Amino acid sequence: MPFAAITYDIKAGYEKEIGEIFGGFRRVGSPVVKSEGEETTRILATAVFIRDATMVRVIEYEGDLQDVARFMASQPGVQEVERKLAPYLTRPRDTGTPEGFIATFNRSLLTCLTQISARDAT
């Protein structure tokens, strides 16, 4: 299963406050992502890491990463987190519209150099 990682440029020293934002995160109702009524993608797991002025959200998924971005753009819990994070960002993120969210998501993506999983071993 592929992984994606997106970065956030944050103000250092607010780990506790940012942790509280994610502690109250409203999960999506289903990990299934549909396009034109058909299941195209599934979000398997997410994790958030923070150190100093950098935060990274890691997403494990199967399917199409752009479907993940479109799905996340429409989720009320994701929108709520983005709004609550705004005061802690050193670089604003244009995530108030689906188009802005998707563009910001794509600009924030880290390049995956390698990924290895025990599930892939035969």
Please provide residue 33's backbone torsions phi and psi, each rounded to the nearest 5 degrees.
-110, 125
Please tell me the predicted confidence (pLDDT) of residue 30.
80
Residue 103's pLDDT band, with cuts at 50, 70 and 90, is very high
pLDDT at 122 over 80: no
Q: Is the pLDDT confidence value at 4 over 90?
A: yes
Query: Cα(86)–Cα(21) distance, rounded to whole angstroms?
Result: 11
pLDDT of residue 35: 79
Question: How many other C-beta atoms are found inside a 10 Å radius of the C-beta of residue 56?
Answer: 15
Q: What is the mean pLDDT of residues 43-48?
A: 92
Predicted confidence (pLDDT) per residue in 67-99, tens digit: 999 999 988 889 999 999 999 999 999 999 999
How much is the pTM? 0.88
Q: State residue 115's pLDDT score.
A: 87
Whether 55 has a pLDDT exceeding 80, the answer reads: yes
Longest CA pairwise span in the chain (Å) = 47
Flag whether pLDDT at 121 surpasses 80.
no
Residue 28 has pLDDT above 80, yes or no: no
